[in-house]
A and B are shown apart, each in its own frame.
Chain A
Amino acid sequence: MQVERRTIREPLGDRVFMTILYILMTLVTLAVLYPLIYIVSSSFSSPSAVSSGQVWLWPVDPSIDGYRTVFRNDQVLTGYMNSAFYAIVGTAISVTLTVMIAYPLSKKTFYGRGPIMMFITFTMLFTGGLIPTYMVVKALGLIDTRWALLLPNAIFVWQVIIARTFFQASIPQELNEAAEIDGCSDLKFISSVIIPLSKPILAVLALVYAVAQWNAYFDALIYLKSQSLFPLQLILRSILIMGNATGTIDASEMARRTELVNLMKYSLIVVASLPVIAIYPFVQRYFVQGMLIGSVKG
């Protein structure tokens, strides 16, 4: 009887341990969640409720004034369009270049594979630094052009490693041999066999590059001067961090101005983060897969 009980129920110590663990994890999760809820709730509250600190958990005196102000702001709209452009075009360029180098490097019969791999990974260990890179971009005439955000950081070495590992692990060698016997060229083989078989890794690459491009501000900060080219993040910086919301509110609202500017910040945060956060639950597994593929030594 006693033996039976021990196998079914955990010892008291373990049960206490697990209870504490569940409580702690619940608290940690709430601590991560709370700031996010607070931001969203504030963004849907009225200007005066936010400014007088009445919001704790749910929206107080619900209104969409904040969002109205955001969508009436030309800077924000231009930034949104620009960021969409950079994310789409940049991702296309980055994924293409990454596959172009990762696939050849995945082939054991590719002569020069080792040295080229070294050539690439060394750039992870040592970089020229800010000014020397800036000089190159300047010499190429890319300063204050859209190319400055698309080219200088187009390839992430880590993504090359992930893609290469995927190609090595999941493209059967026999397929390649069969294709070669049939006289299929490498390019034909890539377009008709590799690409269709590599949809999961292409999804991982596209997501990583798109999120990075959407969230980046540094390259724009150093390379761009014209406001018409600014990505959303740079606009956010000027409004949210430097507090330059001038010209965003019309005269009739002057009285509520300060309150509205404050509320608008919350709405702006939601609007800017929405594209990424909204797709995240559906693509989380791809991100996790990407990390796991990369962690297998190739």
Chain B
Amino acid sequence: MKRHWQLYLLIIPPVLYFLIFKYIPMANTILAFKSYNVTQGIWGSQWAGTKYFEMFFNNPAFFTLIKNTLVISFYQLAVGFPIPILLALALHEVRNARFKKTVQLITYAPYFISTVVMVSMIILFLSPRLGLVNTVTEALGLEAVNYLGKPGWFRSIYVFSDVWQTAGYSAVIYLAALAGVDPSLYEAAKVDGASRLQKIRNVDLPGIMPAAVIILILSVGNIMAIGFEKMYLLQNPLNLATSEIISTYVYKIGLLQSNYSFATAVGLFNSVINLILLLFVNAMARRVSDTSLW
């Protein structure tokens, strides 16, 4: 301990960072059980018991919020989880190095576009008057549609634009797993006269299974934490029926309406459900495959 005193000195600033910006906020969630009063501060305010949680559960918006959050998350998972795997499997088959590199370079690029720009692009493309999509629709003799104003379209727009943006990036991890597959397995498959499809099913898929399980656990663990950033920007008064989710709701009641205690209660509920889900999925994964986070 004495020998490394300089290293202990070194970790003080980062540890303080975690204490101040991560752990004090955790302690601050006590706010959910208090009626916040600006002059008395968090710790001096009166206890409110579970009043704010009851307020949330009895809120007419409760079921819609939970439903919107869950449906869009599972939709995202169902589409966004397999596509990068398929892309990686396909890329792994390609022998032409130049083709492979080009495909990777292009599909990876949208990952670097910011959320604001991504949403702007969606709005520009889907604009009912000037957008490319509607120009095509009208050229075909069909009626223009205000896609972002239709609650029924919202989820698909959200999910598929996300696939467009992140599939190439997510495929990288699977490509790495595929590169690590024991070459003798491929030789054995060749000797046995396996077709490419058989080889994919029996060698490639088992090879990426551990990586896929980890990614799946992490995704399910994030089910309730679906991104505020993109959702909030895509929202408009017309699509709120399907686009209002827990995190956007917390932002609105908390910061825009200054209802701190209520917003903290809703946020805490969300975090706890999330943690439970993560622990549950991790335990499941450990039981059915040998892979788990810890």
Contact = CB atoms under 8 A, between A and B. Distances in A.
Interface stretch (B53-61, B65-73, B74-82, B116-124): B116-124
A281 B106 CA distance: 9
Contacts of A28: 87, 103, 107
A136 interface: yes
Q: Is the interface of B mostly helix, strand, loop or mixed?
A: helix
Contact of A186 (B6, B124, B195): B6
Contacts of A295: 173, 176, 211
Given A97-B13, A262-B130, A128 B254 contact: no
A25 B10 CA distance: 49
Interface residues of A, number: 86
Contacts of B114: 214-217, 233, 236, 272-273, 276
Most A CB contacts (10 A, CB to CB) among B93, B109, B195, B211 go to B109
B255 interface: yes
Q: Is the interface of A mostly helix, strand, loop or mixed?
A: helix
B278 to A, nearest CB: 6
Interface string A33-63: 1011011000000000011010000000000
Contacts of A214: 114
Interface in A177-213: 185-187, 211
A241 B123 contact: yes
Contacts of B271: 126-129
Interface stretch (A9-17, A66-74, A165-173, A248-256): A9-17
Interface in A78-132: 97-98, 100-101, 103-105, 107, 109-111, 116, 119-120, 123, 125-132
A167 B102 CA distance: 32
A123 B18 contact: yes
Contact of A217 (B21, B91, B116): B116
B4 interface: yes
Contacts of B205: none
Interface of A: 10-11, 13-14, 17-18, 21-22, 24-25, 28-29, 31-33, 35-36, 38-39, 50-51, 53, 97-98, 100-101, 103-105, 107, 109-111, 116, 119-120, 123, 125-136, 140, 151-155, 185-187, 211, 214-218, 222, 233-234, 236-237, 240-241, 262, 265-266, 269, 272-273, 276-277, 280-281, 284, 288, 291-292, 295
Interface of B: 1, 3-4, 6-8, 10-11, 13-15, 17-18, 20-29, 31, 42, 87, 90-91, 93-94, 99, 102-103, 105-110, 112-117, 119-121, 123-125, 130, 132, 135, 164, 168, 172-173, 176, 195-197, 211, 221, 228-229, 233, 247, 250-251, 254-255, 260, 263-264, 267-268, 270-271, 274-275, 278
